[in-house]
A and B are shown apart, each in its own frame.
Chain A
């Protein structure tokens, strides 16, 4: 186990080690969990917490989760719909596809909680961007995403997603599988962290980068705060909340301080023996100390070549920020971090929320994310990491085929697209389809938890085995893996 400072400190730690051995405690992430209500669990003899091993052979080790806040237009990204352009300006009723608004059809959609946001918009708004076929697979991708498109043969697109929240609570829903008005549930990242624990004891195992203003800031929920993502900033001088002393405190002096805290805590074991809280506290200080040293090193890019940095667009103002985040993600993955959740487009309900001015909105935002995403896929690939890393590109819902305020699109929960690459996912593949207007997902429909199930499966986890007593989840919460996109 790494230690605070010198051999001398190790020597002085000896009494503590004895003390910990007496505790009979291992120091996985479990040791740091919530410390409450033991008797409730004592009633459930058959249950024991996960041991950090996958339930079956995994195909992937890590996940880079790219989430576009606000709702990307599926028709203008990964599910081009020429008929919208052809019938642009016409009411849906006047097209051959009037049936999409057939009340019977709409009634079959999982009824969104009524919200005045997210109305259907009836006058078709032509596609605001062209699209082309790419790669050997010849999959069509919009011209807003040329760098992603260059890598299309590494990607499976799911064009038949649906959700039930017509407002931005769908962000929460995409991460937890539950509507924002339902009781809070753990996010996928928290489940992965809970099930698999740590590959690197010096780094947080579950990282969140970027803003997530609209949806719950917590992940662990009833799994406990030990499974919350650790928020990070790509700022080597201040990457971590409270990551560096907020008043001058020399490195050596601080190390001695940590050592003293540890020894004093160990001494309290004389008066209060066998106290699991003390042991957990000591372990938490050890990890904290290592984290504050390791994290800045990971996001210091000075060892990266100029070629790599330019590949991610670090030399370009418009995509530098996202590029840095993705480069950091690759560096975390290399060091064994399990789950890196990156949110793009903070502020309000999410930057991609193009109720008006969709063209300028998506032009600007795709420019910010596309080159770094292409770079990430290529960089992971050439380092041999893509095989064991799932990259997912997701958003909370699609946008209406019809126009809002003349040049925008409203929220659209009935259909949207998500893509995945790496970690045993097929490349150059399209799964599912929407109707001609992109209104309904009509073929191989998937609720958001099917994405969760797919990822967990690749990580070697069975979500049913992760359930904890008293927190029985439904079939819909578990979802079903999309086996069709698994290689």
Chain B
């Protein structure tokens, strides 16, 4: 099995930058172990092979980076024996005369770490085994192969050479060749004795193009049409059609988002620590740019420097999300490190990050080069610009970059430690010399006023006004609602007053209020005791008596009595009882008992009897609501089931008890009092309302099954009763209180409207004043406008009106909280009220201090950093009239056609995503540690095609997908010889199958079900809404904190780095595909659609036709006879199932069959 193998310098070299000790340079170190030197064929030969197989790799990994082709510290190279003899500044490192004392031996075995090689901190010392091996070889006379060659000059590395356009090779298999790509590949086949696999069946090609180019499968109708298309250019027609489809941009945007590390914001809780809010603007820019065929070089320039190149164009400024994404609130160094690392890896295929602490160990990149690259980015910061129609940056805003700290120096960090900057000189922006084909010229950019005074953007003042008007509207709506509530509260008081006058009767609140007494269809049982139906109740003990509107238990004394439901109660129930305790000697308990096993509760209980009870007790000095239970004769009163609560005599209470299995929640007068788990198991038994030592009246009861939607709380935290909750059954006193609160709520809402209106007025006047000031300011050569001109004064006055409105609002707030407060809190709130009232008076009387000016409306906001303190923002970094031009210069250098890396790296990424494997397998490392391209001429030819066609990507897509290579079958059938010669398909003699990406799998399942929504763009869909969303997966909120579970199981892109997706196959994927609602829904929808009555092509029965249509829809092909037969076997099983829990039906068998196809390996595979 293959293993993922992504090279990353930082791990290879172990740039353990978070430690204060320096990195250790190590390459793969082959296990040396003890080597027995053989006697034959000869000692020398044995030593030569030890050198070749063990020692040279050891030297290469431990010494060559300083003493080889890349560097020659002390003038010494060790990459051939000849060079060792040549030696360096200290002379030869191998002594012919006295090999045992050779310099190389004494240096690597020196006990003093200060002089031992490799130097301390740059590599572990050689082990004793390695030392003895080295010594034995030297003593044996350093036998080496005759043709030993020194390491090549790193500057000659292929990827650093200028790109040229190779000639298309002539090939003999001309008939197979469809375009030059094929000629290059055919050349490779001919040289290696390979035969390309035949073209894939048309149905496979169609599905391949659809999934590759738009990420969605063809419908059965599209397939049928294309399969029967007789025209010779059906294929290219389809390619053009798909490339023009807006979904093409959606599909390929996701690829580039992997490479460019798209991420929504993440942090701790609500605190943004990484990336930014509203990053979707950048995502939409990627989609739109691809659909508009924006050239690759132009996209790169915009991402790096749109704020310098197009400072006034918000649509292009979105591109700088590429840099915004690196924002890290706590520390500048990781922010800058990531920027340099991923500009290097993503755009240039260079592992610049390896040179943060030391010179690069493989590539001619100096440590200083890392900081030169950082210097391009040193000045930039992040801000959110206001977008049209929304001034609230929490709701929307454009995340973008700007040069905020142009003077910030860049220092080299000694050994990469940011606590050790070398402040002796400031590093200037620059690029590694090996790829510096031209001088970087940096020219500052004078920005338009709208860029550094973003409030001048024409939509900004309007956006503030729109938002302020929206607030007014929302406040008015809240006011309307508050007034409605007040009206309802007035009615409730009136109703209670009339009831109180009548002396009896209660309203039973519950799931439904429209029911008459009796058992409803929903299984609700209700009784307001307006009459007494003896068929519905049994009484036990006590002295029960019906009066209109109540059941009275009139017997005093320490015995229990019960009013029992004649019918069986629901197991999981939601019961409300209204009662009044009228007296009793001591305990005065009234409650609800359930799961009562005793036929007659007034008799003594047997050993097996049990019941549960929730009751209220008006006992003196200990009023409470208590959960209790009995098994056998003994009652238990668990301490966690007790809530102390005042229970008054003569006052009516509404006790609500809801139970789901052993979890019980209790409310009194609508306030949640208790969440309790019964320690005894639930059992079937009677339900009854009980009294103990209590004279009491029941006014009404409601018994309902507990709805699934009612979420019960677990007994973890003791709830604080909310004194403001409106009681469920509203007795008069509570109703009056509620009305008082409702009236204050209206007053507060009125104040809110007042504040909103004042703000709107202030926004309008401040906007007017700002426009007036600009008009004056923008007249050339005019003096500064006077500060207190008329619009400015009006704006200032409007702000004061806002302050006054706010002060009044505050008073109303405190008045409301006073009304809601419990008695013990009231004095403190009363005090507060006095204070805020005084403040309001002050605000009304306040005069603006002379010289004061209004606060301008903002057009953008700096995204604050917390580099110094974790709990407060750093000092604001203002917007500058000039940008340094550094990033523009870098962008121009990266996208210069002469840049040897940019086009090669981009082409490799595009090729990999079409063909299933890259040409350079280390897609982000084109340096010397990376792998060489399999077909370097083809890579360069394609790169030249890209550049020579103005970096047009659709042209490149077209070229690749119309090649014969792309159209080959991925099967190895009949290719035994190829498989032997090139088992890994390096030379692409067959098409490489692809395990589809997470997003494609989800999108396909929705698309096949016919439920996928194809709308393009907009804010990311938050995790809470993803389950119900039918939009393409690219729109799902996706950050390091939050990813969709289903997608994550299919190797979803890691936002920190994803240059190439994994294609794993793990059991969790099998569970997801077989159990996820997403797949089940899609399966049943498709099976219903296929058999929809009256529809064209509807298939009524579950037979071969249905199987065939299902294959076509899910897998894009018809089944083979063997597959049909296999499906029919299972259908037979499903239809013949006799299990009463699984009633067999044709519909369910159809859904099962489609489900199985969604679980087929071919569904998640691009064949």
Contact = CB atoms under 8 A, between A and B. Distances in A.
A236 to B, nearest CB: 13
B782 interface: no
A224 B1064 contact: yes
A357 to B, nearest CB: 16
15 contacts: A32-B1066, A34-B3, A35-B995, A40-B5, A114-B419, A183-B11, A224-B1064, A242-B1071, A245-B1074, A258-B1074, A261-B1159, A267-B1123, A267-B1126, A273-B972, A476-B19
Contact of A249 (B679, B716, B1068, B1080): B1080
Contact of A477 (B14, B922, B1137): B14
A245 B1167 CA distance: 28
Given A259-B1130, A261-B1160, A36 B18 contact: no
A157 to B, nearest CB: 25
B1067 A33 contact: no
B921 A182 contact: no
Given A43-B931, A288-B1074, A182 B17 contact: yes
B1070 interface: yes
Contact of A12 (B921, B993, B1041, B1129): B1129
Given A117-B870, A252-B1142, A474-B26, A182 B10 contact: yes
Interface stretch (B236-244, B424-432, B704-712, B1055-1063): B1055-1063
B220 interface: no
A36 B1156 contact: no
B1148 interface: yes
Nearest to A261: B1159
A121 to B, nearest CB: 14
Contacts of A49: 1, 3
A273 B1142 contact: no
A222 B1062 CA distance: 10
A204 B1070 CA distance: 13
B1160 A284 contact: no
Interface string A172-199: 0000001101111100000000000000
Interface stretch (B27-35, B77-85, B300-308, B395-403): B27-35
A272 B10 contact: no
Contact of B20 (A110, A254, A470): A110
Interface of B is mostly: loop
B1134 interface: yes
Contacts of B1141: 250
Contact of A246 (B330, B1067, B1075, B1129): B1075
B1148 to A, nearest CB: 7
A292 interface: yes
A240 B1075 CA distance: 11
Which interface residue of A165, A218, A472 has the most chain B CB atoms within 10 A?
Answer: A472
A176 to B, nearest CB: 11
Given A164-B18, A474-B24, A116 B866 contact: yes
Contacts of A38: 2, 984
Given A182-B18, A288-B1074, 20 more contacts: A32-B1065, A35-B2, A36-B1060, A36-B1063, A46-B31, A111-B417, A117-B870, A164-B18, A179-B18, A184-B1054, A204-B1067, A243-B1071, A253-B1152, A265-B1161, A270-B1120, A273-B971, A285-B1159, A287-B1070, A470-B7, A474-B26
Contact of B1122 (A46, A257, A270): A270
A147 interface: no
Interface of A is mostly: loop
B1160 A292 contact: no
A217 to B, nearest CB: 8
B485 interface: no
Contact of A287 (B20, B330, B1067, B1123): B1067
Interface string A198-240: 0000001000000001100110001111101010000000001
A41 interface: yes
B1069 A37 contact: no
Top 5 A-B pairs ranked by shortest CB distance?
A: A250-B1142, A179-B18, A288-B1070, A116-B870, A246-B1077
A169 to B, nearest CB: 9
A185 to B, nearest CB: 7
Interface string B273-315: 0000000000000000000000000000000000000000000
A33 B1156 contact: no
Interface stretch (A132-140, A275-283, A371-379): A275-283
B269 A40 contact: no
A158 to B, nearest CB: 20
Nearest to A271: B971
Contacts of B1072: 241-242
B1071 A264 contact: no
A268 interface: yes
Interface in B913-962: 921-922, 931, 934
A474 B16 contact: yes
B1045 interface: yes
B429 to A, nearest CB: 24
B1165 interface: yes
Contacts of A473: 11, 14
A114 B27 CA distance: 30
Nearest to B1080: A247
A30 interface: yes
Nearest to B19: A110
B162 interface: no
Nearest to A30: B1
Contact of A256 (B16, B417, B973, B1134): B1134
A228 B4 CA distance: 14
Interface in B325-371: 330-331, 333-334, 337
A380 B931 CA distance: 51
How large, as a class, is the contact surface on chain B? 35 or more
A39 B1075 contact: no
B1070 A284 contact: yes
A224 B1126 contact: no
A264 B1120 CA distance: 10
Interface string A27-64: 00011111111111111101001000000000000000
A42 B984 contact: yes
Interface string B244-287: 00000000000000000000000011000000000000000000
B868 interface: yes
A474 B26 CA distance: 8
A116 B1159 contact: no
A382 interface: no
A259 B1074 CA distance: 12
Contacts of A214: 268
Contact of A183 (B4, B10, B922): B10
A471 B11 CA distance: 6
A348 B28 contact: no
Contacts of B418: 114
A182 B979 CA distance: 40
A35 B1 contact: yes
A253 B1165 contact: no
A182 B1069 CA distance: 29
Interface string A450-487: 00000000000000000011111111110000000000
Given A39-B931, A39-B984, A230 B1068 contact: yes
A42 B931 CA distance: 12
Given A272-B971, A278-B1161, A40 B1 contact: no
Nearest to A260: B1130
A437 B417 CA distance: 29
B1156 A261 contact: yes
Given A348-B269, A474-B16, A37 B1139 contact: no
A307 interface: no
Given A252-B1139, A267-B1122, A257 B1064 contact: no
Contacts of B1130: 256-257, 259-260
B898 interface: no
B8 A183 contact: yes
B16 A470 contact: no
B5 A246 contact: no
Contact of A317 (B337, B715, B868, B1066): B715
